[in-house]
Amino acid sequence: MTAILEAKHIDIGINKKTIVHDLSLQIPEGKITAIIGPNGCGKSTTLKAISRILPVQKGEITFKGRPINEFSQREFAQCLAILTQSPQAPTDLNVQDLVEMGRFPHRGFFGRSSKEDAEHVAWALEQTNMAGMRQRLLHTLSGGERQRAWIAMALAQRPQVLLLDEPTTYLDICHQLEVMQLLVKLNRELGLTVVMVIHELNHAIQYADYVAVIKAGRLVTSGEPREMVTSGLLADVFRVQADEFSCSNGLRALVPVDLCR
């Protein structure tokens, strides 16, 4: 496995409290990685450290072997894009304006939009099937459409890595699958490395190539989700009993049935 991002024995703290302890993790290049674990275990905290939103107290995070702290803010934004939980934008902003914001790392704070910028924005809208909605105001979009607009903004950065914190939260099952299938398309067709914090474990099994399991701020295990995400894992990490079923596509599905006593 070739790792594009690597965390080496990192501690991460918030308000003087250490949330993540001695965590080491490799993110495979060109793959979809799912980070899973119970609420409050440090999943989102880890993602924010990878994106430099949060500093590490100890250890090091590298991008292609280079410590992420050595990158300028602009240079790093050209490499990685992150969508946090429930991102906010002005209500009078339309889709086109939002996606154009993704070009800021490439033209500077006061730089004017160029022909190249316009081409990248049009490309990002096409990739996310949002070209026909470019003039729609964000507040008029459905949850799934709004999430695709934000993904288009991130794509306009032309990053090598896309980080997403719970990208299917608050979406109905149809829009959840729509977003997951879009991420698979972007990964397969563009070679985009995708890292997502996700609660729906069956989505990790169905769509991810690699999974990292965190509990109480520590890495429990990592590997291929079809091998790692089992009823035994749910019992050990989530204290949930689950039944396993074989899906029509040959993959496994888990259905929680009770709490572990």
Quick: pLDDT tens for 187-242.
999 999 999 999 999 999 999 999 999 999 999 999 999 999 999 999 999 999 99
Please give the Cα distance from 45 to 140 (Å, whole number): 31
Number of other residues whose CB lies within 10 A of the CB of residue 199: 14
User: Residue 102 in contact with residue 63, Cβ under 8 Å?
Assistant: no
Q: Which of 179, 112, 113 is nearest to 152 (CA)?
A: 179
| Single-letter amino acid, residue 36 | I
Closest C-alpha to 38, from 211, 191, 231, 213 = 213
Mean pLDDT, the chain, integer: 94
Using CA atoms, how far residue 56 sits from 61, 141, 163, 227, in Å, is: 8, 37, 18, 30
List, in sequence order, the alpha helices (H) in the chain.
43-50, 73-77, 95-100, 104-107, 115-127, 143-156, 173-190, 201-207, 225-228, 231-233
How sure is the predictor about 109, in pLDDT bands with cuts at 50, 70 and 90?
low
Strand partners of residue 162? 81, 194
| Residue 261 pLDDT exceeds 90 | no
In the chain, count of helices (H) and strands (E)?
10, 12
Q: Residue 134 is encoded by which pair of tokens?
A: 């470019």
- Is the model's pLDDT at 108 over the cut of 60? no
Start-to-end CA distance of the chain, whole Å, equals 39
pTM above 0.85, yes or no: yes
Please compute the mean of the pLDDT values over residues 27-39 and round it to a whole number: 98
CA 156 to mean position of chain CA atoms? 16
User: Tell me, what's the pLDDT at 16?
Assistant: 87
Under 8 Å between Cβ of 237 and 204: no
Q: Which residues contact 82 (CB under 8 A, 6 or more apart)?
A: 47, 48, 51, 53, 154, 162, 163, 164, 165
Q: Which segments of 84-201 are extended strands (E)?
A: 161-165, 193-197
Give residue for tokens 């509990």: 215
